[in-house]
């Protein structure tokens, strides 16, 4: 499914939060949405997921507005992982992941074979099968995030929008999650992830969209987007650069003074 956003703008309490956002998201692409705290990443992701109406502009799903597509059809085709996850502390992980199948199920019907397979595959993909019987409240932050990610994967949607899915994951599971997003995208799903880790964003994503104060400052291949000027302006940082196994990487290195950042 393609998502096309044109001329998106929104303000909260009279303060512009997003303006002039034009963005096209395609199947088979892993897009990293990056930007400083408060740049508007979550707000944009919620608008793209049809969870928040923009004050101006349009969002089209395969050329159609959400209202002509219908709620259920959109919920089957688009999975959203909220920042921090919506936590159902008492629920067992298995029941939480099964919620990902709701858009596909008839009311009150039992889980089908396809539902069970999707749930098991999602648990396996996030290395969370060991937590199936545990309540969400009994899991550590990172374990919980993996279960919530499994819930989003269980939808088997054509487009996955994930807001900071790496929060709380240890380094190994962060790398595994990024590799998983890459595999999902290679299999044809569109994936958009909000990330704060610029090294992982640069290494794993096909494309980065850099937001600065509610506008797109850069949109393109990681090597282009993560240039010194963009990083100074959007984050106020300088990075160290390196190469390993033929791959370039960046490492946030130093906070710049306001004067240095605006040079």
Ligand X SMILES: Nc1ncnc2c1ncn2[C@@H]1O[C@H](COP(=O)(O)OP(=O)(O)OP(=O)(O)O)[C@@H](O)[C@H]1O
Binding site for ligand X (CB under 6 A): 12-13, 17, 35, 37-43
Bridge partners, 255 (sequence order): 237
Q: From residue 220, how far is each of 95, 138, 201, 228, 232 by CA, in Å?
A: 39, 41, 12, 15, 17
In the complex with ligand X, which residue's Cβ is closer, 178 or 234?
234
Cβ neighbours, 10 Å, residue 220: 11
Q: If residue 208 lies in a helix (H) or strand (E), which one and from where to where?
A: strand 207-212
Task: Report in angstroms how near the CB of residue 42 gets to ligand X at its nearest.
Answer: 3
As a whole number of angstroms, the distance between CA 7 and CA 68 comes to 20
In the complex with ligand X, which residue's Cβ is closer, 43 or 76?
43
Task: Report in angstroms how near the CB of residue 123 gets to ligand X at its nearest.
Answer: 27
Task: Report in angstroms how near the CB of residue 49 gets to ligand X at its nearest.
Answer: 13
Task: Report in angstroms how near the CB of residue 21 gets to ligand X at its nearest.
Answer: 12
For residues 208 and 201, is the Cβ–Cβ distance under 8 A? yes
What are the strands of the beta sheet with 15-25, ordered from one edge? Answer: 15-25, 3-12, 56-61
In the complex with ligand X, which residue's Cβ is closer, 39 or 97?
39
In the complex with ligand X, which residue's Cβ is closer, 44 or 184?
44
Task: Report in angstroms how near the CB of residue 262 gets to ligand X at its nearest.
Answer: 20
Task: Report in angstroms how near the CB of residue 244 gets to ligand X at its nearest.
Answer: 27
Q: From residue 11, how far is each of 43, 52, 53, 91 by CA, in Å?
A: 10, 12, 11, 36
In the complex with ligand X, which residue's Cβ is closer, 39 or 75?
39
Task: Report in angstroms how near the CB of residue 185 gets to ligand X at its nearest.
Answer: 22
Residues near 212 by Cβ (< 8 Å), separated by ≥ 6? 35, 36, 39, 233, 234
Residues near 205 by Cβ (< 8 Å), separated by ≥ 6? 30, 31, 32, 193, 195, 222
In the complex with ligand X, which residue's Cβ is closer, 12 or 89?
12
In the complex with ligand X, which residue's Cβ is closer, 14 or 245?
14
Environment class of 89 (CB within 10 Å of its CB; exposed 0-12, middle 13-18, buried 19+): exposed
């Amino acid at each position: 499914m393609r998502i096309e956003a044109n001329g998106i703008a929104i303000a909260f309490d009279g303060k512009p939060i997003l303006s002039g956002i034009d963005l096209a998201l395609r199947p088979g692409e892993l897009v990293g949405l990056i930007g400083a705290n408060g740049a508007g990443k979550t707000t944009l992701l919620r608008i793209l997921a049809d969870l928040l109406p923009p004050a101006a502009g349009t969002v089209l799903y395969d050329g159609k507005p959400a209202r002509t597509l219908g709620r259920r059809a959109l919920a089957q085709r688009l999975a959203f992982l909220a920042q921090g996850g919506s936590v159902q502390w008492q629920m067992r992980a298995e029941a939480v992941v099964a919620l990902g199948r709701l858009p596909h199920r008839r009311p009150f019907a039992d889980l089908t074979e396809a539902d069970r397979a999707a749930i098991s595959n999602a648990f396996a993909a996030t290395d969370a099968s060991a937590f199936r019987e545990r309540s969400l409240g009994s899991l550590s932050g990172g374990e919980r995030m993996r279960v919530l990610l499994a819930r989003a994967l269980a939808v088997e949607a054509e487009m996955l929008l994930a807001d900071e899915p790496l929060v709380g994951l240890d380094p190994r599971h962060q790398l595994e999650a990024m590799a998983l997003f890459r595999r999902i995208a290679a299999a044809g799903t569109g994936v958009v992830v909000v990330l704060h880790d610029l090294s992982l964003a640069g290494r794993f994503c096909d494309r980065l969209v850099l937001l600065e104060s509610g506008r797109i400052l850069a949109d393109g291949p990681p090597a282009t987007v993560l240039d010194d000027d963009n990083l100074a302006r959007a984050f106020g940082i300088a990075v160290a650069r390196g190469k390993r196994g033929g791959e370039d990487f960046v490492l946030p290195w130093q906070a710049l003074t306001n004067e240095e950042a605006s040079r």
